[in-house]
Amino acid sequence: MTSQTIGAAASGTWELGDLRINRIGFGAMRLPQTGEALVADAVPRDREQAIGVLRRAVELGVNHIDTAAFYFSPLRSANELINRALAPYPDDLVITTKVGPGRAPSGRWLPHATPEQLRGQVEENLRQLGRDHLDVVNLRIVGTDSIAERFGALAGLRDAGLIRHLGISNVTPEHLAEARAIAPVVCVQNQYGIGVRPDHDEFVRACGELGVAYVPFYAIAGTGRQAGASGAESDEVLAVARAHGASAAQVRLAWTLHRGPHVLAIPGTGSPDHLVANVAAGALRLSEEELASLDSFHRRGA
Ligand SMILES: NC(=O)c1ccc[n+]([C@@H]2O[C@H](COP(=O)([O-])OP(=O)(O)OC[C@H]3O[C@@H](n4cnc5c(N)ncnc54)[C@H](OP(=O)(O)O)[C@@H]3O)[C@@H](O)[C@H]2O)c1
């Protein structure tokens, strides 16, 4: 597929609460370093390269960027890069961040935030991004415990005007029901992709029925997770890619977008060429036969 001139608007739009965004967005986790993310000895990425990718993303129409204060390497912070590259921010730019996990300045992981500590994490994001309120904040959790106290604490910060909309991440349908009883939830951000978590298909569909955006992470990286894409690919994905003159990564993104109009993409990359390709994937339309073939691989699992 020709990718040079395709903008993010080709993917269609979705409303996160009252914030309209293009369905193809950008994940900032890859920007602070080259190679594996979220490790203490990560190699910092060239600052100008990271800034260039962010500015190009916005030029291409990306208006939804996912980030976190804990996305940093020894010398780079995703939030600081976003601030440096994009402030003063375009009016239509929606920055989604996440709280819960935390890392010490050394890069070592800290215990997840208590309800009382969440305000400090929200304020840290406000400082780094240079904003007075955060557009969307996801409560990122681990495990199956109740999120009522932590989500309730964020709902209080929303009422106080520090946060516009709330989401939840790494969660089950039970968590979503629990959160929605406390405050509106605009998005669920979970690991999901072709061949990964076919058991979440029903949850993805149910979110659509509730008008909640489903935002998969690692849609390209898949089982490579924070280490990144391995390059290994299934025959089904490769066949569809060949038919469209597209890359496997583009087919992976297009497949997620075909799961429903409420599914958003936040592909991460430090490569300007991959950025252009990822945005262009929003224009890739897959046939029923292609989707059936990809679905059979998905259900088989990676
Ligand atoms: N809520 C959570 O718990 C959670 C967890 C993880 C991530 N996230 C969010 O989700 C976002 C997406 O995850 P991710 O950054 O891992 O993105 P991803 O899109 O799943 O995969 C990124 C990996 O794929 C490569 N890649 C990207 N575009 C490519 C292309 N067109 N062709 C070939 N390879 C390509 C990247 O390397 P290159 O840099 O070389 O392109 C990198 O190795 C993150 O940035 C972060 O914002 C959330």
Q: Which element (helix H / strand E) includes 109?
A: strand 109-110
Evaluate whether residue 91 is within a structural domain. yes
Q: What is the pLDDT of residue 178?
A: 98
Q: Quick check: is 192 in a domain?
A: yes
3-state DSSP assignment of residue 191: strand
The answer, yes or no, to whether residue 180 has pLDDT greater than 90, is yes
Nearest to 103 by CA among 68, 58, 60, 57: 68
Is 169 touching ligand 1 by the criterion CB < 6 Å?
Answer: yes
Query: Would you call the peptide bond into 88 cis, given omega within 30 degrees of 0 as the criterion?
Result: yes
Residue 258 included in any domain: no
Per-residue pLDDT at 273 exceeds 80: yes
Q: Is the pLDDT of residue 229 over 90?
A: no
Dihedral of CA 281/214/52/6: which sign?
A: positive
CA of 292 to the centre of ligand 1 (A): 25
Question: Which of 3, 220, 251, 273 to probe ligand 1 with, by most ligand atoms within 8 A of CB?
Answer: 220
Q: How far away, in angstroms, is 266 Cα from ligand 1 center?
A: 8
Tokens 């629990």 sit at which residue? 178
Containing H/E element for 159?
A: helix 148-159
Q: What's the one-letter identity of residue 232?
A: A
In short, whether 193's Cβ falls inside 6 Å of ligand 1 is no
Domain assignment of residue 115, given as a range: 21-232+263-280
Q: How many domains does the chain have?
A: 1
Cα–Cα distances in angstroms (integers) from residue 65 to residues 62, 86, 93, 108, 209, in the given order: 8, 11, 8, 25, 24
pLDDT at position 179 over 60: yes
**CATH at residue 99:** 3.20.20.100
| pTM of the entire predicted model | 0.97
CA distance 124 to 193: 31
Per-residue b/e over 184-209, b at no fewer than 16 CB within 10 Å?
A: ebbbbbbbbbbbbbbebeebbebbee
pLDDT over 90 (residue 228) = no
Is a pLDDT exceeding 60 seen at residue 88? yes
- Over range 184-208, report the average pLDDT: 97
For 23-37, what is each residue's pLDDT tens digit? Answer: 999 999 999 999 999
Select from 29, 71, 215 the residue to mutate for testing ligand 1; criterion: most ligand atoms less than 8 Å from CB: 29
Is residue 33 assigned to a domain?
yes
Asked if residue 125 is part of any domain, the answer here is yes
252 domain-assigned: no
What is the pLDDT, as a whole number, of residue 223?
A: 84
| Count of other CB atoms within 10 angstroms of residue 148 | 15
Distance CA 46, CA 98 (A): 24
Mean pLDDT over 285-301 rounds to: 95
For CA atoms 46, 51, 54, 57, the dihedral sign is: negative
252 lines ligand 1 (CB under 6 A): no
- Evaluate whether residue 45 is within a structural domain: yes
In a domain, 242, yes or no: no
> Is any atom of ligand 1 closer than 6 Å to the C-beta of 140?
yes
Mean per-residue pLDDT over the chain, rounded: 96
In whole angstroms, give the CA distance from residue 286 to residue 292. Answer: 10
